[in-house]
């Protein structure tokens, strides 16, 4: 199965580019896209709701200004969360996976991103009201129309995937995964995704390492100070390389807009962590030896 992201092991997450973060203007977004591409990071992760339904359009306008060939990049987007904001005054935040809303969302994303197809289209979060037959039917139609190439989910459990796979193939699951949030390695989810040949994207791949000074984070920090000398690396790079060493071929979705950190992230794939160092990091963050 072609999971499409063959050019780019690291994925650029766009959630903070617009009004939900950096408030970048069109020229700044264009420069940022170009920087990612120059670094070899050519996959861009979106969701219709980012920036209160505005970031996709801002990205699309900026991308149009560049001389980057569409076939050399990959666009990922998500649908389903109905988010109350200025642009859509919903009474309550909810999920809508009706065929009508999925089609409306994909058409909006295609227009916003100024593209004829989405490389990977994801359901953003599972809904207790999902009608899997209706979802399967509309996804099949969108594939036939070549509006989406590959289909997947985000934040879905094993049972939720099993339910949805009754009606359509699932190529991806984008999950929260990092060294500080590594439970999918032991709760069976990663094993399940491997067994089903479902690709894994990791959102928040640095976890809370840079956000909290917990005992385990501080213990890991001391170890990283030693390992950085050994590998001529940075903390960011080691945390990403730790994820990418896993045989599942995990694709981290990074949120940085800093040019230097983009370049460092791109080169983190080249760090060959020794198996003992991988387990030393695992031990420090978990606060105990493996069983």
The 10s digit of each residue's pLDDT in 227-281 is: 999 999 999 999 999 999 999 999 999 999 999 999 999 999 999 999 999 999 9
Distance CA(202)–CA(185), nearest Å, equals 12
Taking the CA of residue 221 as centre, how many other CA atoms within 13 Å lie in the half-sphere pointing to its CB? 11
pLDDT at 7: 73
pLDDT, tens digit, 9 for 90 and up, residues 4-14: 676 778 999 99
Band (pLDDT 50/70/90 cuts) for residue 1 is very low
CA 246, CA 244: separation in Å to the nearest integer? 5
CA distance 59 to 114: 9
Q: State how far the Cα of 121 lies from the Cα of 158, in Å rounded to an integer.
A: 19
Q: Tell the burial category of 272 from Cβ atoms under 10 Å away from its Cβ (0-12, 13-18, 19+).
A: exposed
| Set 50, 53, 97, 231: catalytic member | 50
Q: What is the mean pLDDT of residues 28-52?
A: 97
Domain coordinates in residue numbering, the chain: 11-176
DSSP state letter for 202: E
| pLDDT reported for residue 4 | 67
d(CA 24, CA 110): 21
For 134-152, the pLDDT digits (tens) are 999 999 999 999 999 999 9
- For 184-236, how does the pLDDT look when each residue is reduced to its tens digit (9 = 90+)? 999 999 999 999 999 999 999 999 999 999 999 999 999 999 999 999 999 99
Q: Which CATH number fits domain 11-176: 3.20.20.100, 3.40.50.1820, 3.90.1170.50, 3.30.460.80?
A: 3.20.20.100
What gap in Å lies between CA 95 and CA 102, rounded to an integer? 11
SS3 for 181-222, per residue?
A: CCHHHCCCHHHHHHHCCCEEEEECCCCCCCCCCCHHHHHHHH
Look at strands 251-254 and 11-13 and give their pairing: parallel
Predicted model pTM: 0.96
pLDDT of 57 reads 98
> Is 95 among the residues known to form the active site?
no
Q: What pLDDT, in 10s, does the model give residues 82-123?
A: 999 999 999 999 999 999 999 999 999 999 999 999 999 999
């Amino acid at each position: 199965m072609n999971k499409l992201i063959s050019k780019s092991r690291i994925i650029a997450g766009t959630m903070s580019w617009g009004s939900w973060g950096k408030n970048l203007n069109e020229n700044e977004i264009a420069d940022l896209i170009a920087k990612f591409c120059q670094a070899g990071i050519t996959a861009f992760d979106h969701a219709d709701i980012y920036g209160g339904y505005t970031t996709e359009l801002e990205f699309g306008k900026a991308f149009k200004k560049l001389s980057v060939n569409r076939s050399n990049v990959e666009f990922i987007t998500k649908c389903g969360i109905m988010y109350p904001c200025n642009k859509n005054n919903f009474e309550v935040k909810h999920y809508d996976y009706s065929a009508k809303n999925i089609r409306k969302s994909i058409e909006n994303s295609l227009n916003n991103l100024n593209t004829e197809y989405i490389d990977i289209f994801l359901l953003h979060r599972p809904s207790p009201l999902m009608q899997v037959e209706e979802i399967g039917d509309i996804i099949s139609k969108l594939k036939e129309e070549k509006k989406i190439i590959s289909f997947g989910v985000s934040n879905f459990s094993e049972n939720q995937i099993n339910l949805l796979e009754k009606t359509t193939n699932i190529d991806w699951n984008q999950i929260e995964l990092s060294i500080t949030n590594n439970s999918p390695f032991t709760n069976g989810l990663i094993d399940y995704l491997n067994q089903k040949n479902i690709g894994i994207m990791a959102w928040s791949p640095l976890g809370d390492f840079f956000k909290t000074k917990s005992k385990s984070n501080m213990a890991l920090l001391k170890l990283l100070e030693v390992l950085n000398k050994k590998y001529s690396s940075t903390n960011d790079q080691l945390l990403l390389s730790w994820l990418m060493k896993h045989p599942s071929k995990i694709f981290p979705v990074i949120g940085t807009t800093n040019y230097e950190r983009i370049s460092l992230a791109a080169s983190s794939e080249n760090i060959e962590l020794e198996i003992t160092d991988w387990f030393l990091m695992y031990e420090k963050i978990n606060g105990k030896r493996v069983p």
